[in-house]
Structure 1
C-alpha cells in the first residue's frame, strides 16, 4: 500500500489540477466520521459538500446498493426500469411536483431546468429572444449553461462568451428584479438559499415577490435546491418553509448519498413544456442510481430525518450563535437548519485548513471568508458540542 504522500504525489501527476486539495487522503467513513490512510479519525461537518445526508456506511443504504448491483446496473432510457419508477414516485410525493427527469449531477439538472424555460417560452411565440433573470453571487454549476446563470465574474471570465439573454439582479432585492422583468423574460432562477455565495437564505418577502412577478409575466420560477434541499433546512425542500412553490426545481447532492445523481422537477404548465427528443442522457436515471435515490427517500421518511434536522439545527444555531458573540473575528451568522455559515473578518481558508490538520475537524468555506456547516443530517447534539470545542480552539489561535 502506498503512503499518504505517495498517493498525493501520484494524484498531482495524474489528475487534472482544477482543485487545490488539502493534504489528507481519506480511506473510509463510518457514521459522521472519516478516517484517513493513517487511521486518524475526523469529525465531518462538510458531508462531501452537503452530499452524505445519511452519513457513511449506513447499512440499510449499503444493502440496497449491493442488492441492485446483483440485479441490474444499466439499460439506457430506451427502456423502463423499476427503481426509476420507485424513485420518481417518492421524490414527486416529497416535492408535490408533477414530473421528474433524473440526471447525473446538479449541474445537468440546471441545464434541464434552463431548457424547460426556453422551451416553454418558445412554445408560446416561436421566438428566440427570451431572457432569463439570475442572481448576483449565485452558483449553479460549471458547465457553460449553468455558468451563464452563475453570478460571479471569477468563474465566468475565462469562458466567455456564455449563453446570451441572461440578466443579473440582486438577491433579496425585489426592486432589482422588477427593473429587469419584461415581456421577453421567460424565467427567474435562484437558489432558495445561496450556498457558495456565503449562506444567504432568501427572505420571505423576496421569494413571494419574485413568485408574484413570474405569475404576472407568465415566466417560470426556477429554484435551485441542489445544496439546500433534501431535508437540510428542516423541511424536505427549502421552498416548503416559505410556502412558495416553484414551476421548476433542481435537486442533487444528498439525493444519492454519495451516488452521483441529480434531478429537475416541474409543476403545472412547466411539466408539459418538453417533448420527446428535447432532452436526454445515457446514464441519467439508470437502475443503480435511482435505487440509491429511492432508498435515500425511503429512509428519510422512515427515520423522520426532517424532524431530526429541525431539532439539531436549532441546537447548532443556538450554540454557534453563542460562539459568534464571543469572538470578534466572527462578523455574521446566517443559515437555516443544517446549512449555516459564520462570516469572518479574515479569510476562511487558513482556519479551515487548521481545523482539518490540527483538530481533525472537516469544515469547508463558502466564498472567501465564510465557514460553512453542512454536516451529515444524522449528527447529534453531542457531535455539535464536539465540533464547537475543536472550532473554538482554532478561533482562539486566529483571533
Structure 2
C-alpha cells in the first residue's frame, strides 16, 4: 500500500536529501571539546531552559541536532560518546539511516500525529511485525499508549477488569514502573511519590538476590506465600521487570523466573512483564524470550527502543470496549521508524548466542573487569549486565562518588547515568553501532576518569 504523496521527482529528491543528511551527519565522528567561541552556549541555554521548566538539569547538555553513530554534538560544538541514549530510545545511535529514512517518508504524509480513531498504515504495520515476533507466546493483541507509564496503566486496567474485585498487585522491591497516578505506587522508591496519596494497593516482595543466588528463589517464594496468607484472594497479578533498570540492572535466572511464574499460575494470578526499557536490548528481541519464558506471559509492556509505547496481551485479557483508548498512537515518523527498527533487529545478526547484543555485553564486562583488576583496582568494582544494558560500581558505590565520576566522564567525553541505591551504579545503555575502535576509545576515557576522581 502506498502511503503519502509520491512521484518520481519526490523520490529522487528524497534520495538526494537522505544522502546529503547522512553525509553531513557523518562529519561528527569523534570526541572533541567545545569550540572557543561557543563555550558559553550550553550553560546559557540550559540555565534559561531550567528557569522555564522550573527545575535544573543533571548535565549541561543541549543537543545541536547533529551526531552520528555513538557521537552527539552539543550546541557549544563539543562532541561526546552517548552511552545512555536518552535513557533508552536511541538503541541504534544517532542519525541512523533508518531514522533518517523514517523522517523523510513521514514528511510525505498529510498529518504528523496518528490517533486511535482514524488510523494510518504505520501503526498497523508496527503492530503486525511486533506480534509476529511473539508467536511462541500467547500474546495476540497490541494497544498503543502515549508513554511507558500509560502502557503500564493499560495493562493494569485490563488485569483489574478481568480479576475484579481482586485489585491488589504484587510487585518487586526496587521496581520502577513510571510516574503516573497508578504506576507511582508500583514504583518502589517512595521519594518519587512524596506528598501523593496512595491510589492503588501494591505489595512489594524481594527480587532476585545477586548476593545469594542459591537461595534467591526460596526467599521470593517464602515472601509470596506469607503475602497470600495475610491477604488471601486479593491479588490480580505479579508485575515484574526481568531486568530491573532502576536497581542497576539486577536480574535473575531462567530457573528463578520460572519458579516465580509457576507459583503465580498455581495461585490464579496473571503474569505481567514490564519491558519498557529491556525491549530490544537483551540476547533476544524481548527479555522474556531471552529467559525462555514465552509460555508464562499474559501481558507485556514495551517502549523506548521501539520508538512507540504499548501493551501486548492475550485474548483472555482483551478488555471490554471503552476501557482503554487514547488520542495518540504516536507520530507518523516514530511509528514508521518503530516498524523498521523491529525488522532491522530481527532480520540482522543481533540476537542469539553469536549475536551482536551478547558480543557487546561480553566486551564491556570483560574490559571493566580488566580495569578493576589492573590500573583501576579499588576504583572500579562490580561490573555486569545483559546485552546493551551495562552497569558497574565505582569507588565506595555511594551516590556522591558515582555522581562525581559521571560528571567527570561527561566532561571527558562520555554521557551516561546512574542507577540503584545501596549500591549506586554507573548505568550504560550502549548503542548497537559501536565499533571495536569506539570501545577502545571509551575505555581509555573511563580509565582516565577513574584515575582522576576516585
TM normalised by structure 2 equals 0.80
Instruction: Tell me whether 1:312 sits opposite 2:351 in the alignment.
Output: no
1:233 maps to which residue?
282
Give the deviation of 1:337 after TM superposition. 1.4
2:250 maps to which residue?
200
| 2:302 maps to which of 248, 251, 270 | 251
> CA–CA distance in 1 between the matches of 2:261 and 2:441?
41
Instruction: Tell me whether 1:363 sits opposite 2:401 in the alignment.
Output: no
Decide whether the 8 Å contact of 2:285 with 2:346 is kept in 1.
no
1:180 maps to which residue?
227
| 2:334 maps to which of 274, 289, 303 | 289
| 1:76 maps to which of 115, 119, 125 | 115
Give the deviation of 1:146 after TM superposition. 0.9
Alignment of 1:124-273 (within 5 A): 127=165, 129-159=166-196, 161-172=197-208, 173-181=220-228, 182-230=232-280, 232-245=281-294, 246-256=297-307, 261-270=308-317, 272=318
Higher relative contact order (CA 8 A, sep 6+): 1
Give the deviation of 1:69 after TM superposition. 2.5
Give the deviation of 1:190 after TM superposition. 1.2
| 1:90 maps to which of 129, 142, 156 | 129
> CA–CA distance in 2 between the matches of 1:281 and 1:69?
24
Instruction: Tell me whether 1:354 sits opposite 2:408 in the alignment.
Output: yes
Decide whether the 8 Å contact of 1:110 with 1:140 is kept in 2.
yes
Q: Give the SS at the match of 1:20.
A: coil
Decide whether the 8 Å contact of 2:102 with 2:334 is kept in 1.
no
Q: CA RMSD in A?
A: 1.9
Can you give the 5+ residue segments of structure 1 that lack an aligned partner in the other structure? none
> CA–CA distance in 2 between the matches of 1:135 and 1:23?
34
Instruction: Tell me whether 1:41 sits opposite 2:79 in the alignment.
Output: yes
TM normalised by structure 1 equals 0.91
Larger Rg: 2
Count of residues paired in the alignment: 384
Deviates more, 1:48-57 or 1:72-81: 72-81
| 1:103 maps to which of 124, 131, 145 | 145
Give the deviation of 1:202 after TM superposition. 2.4
> CA–CA distance in 2 between the matches of 1:283 and 1:158?
30
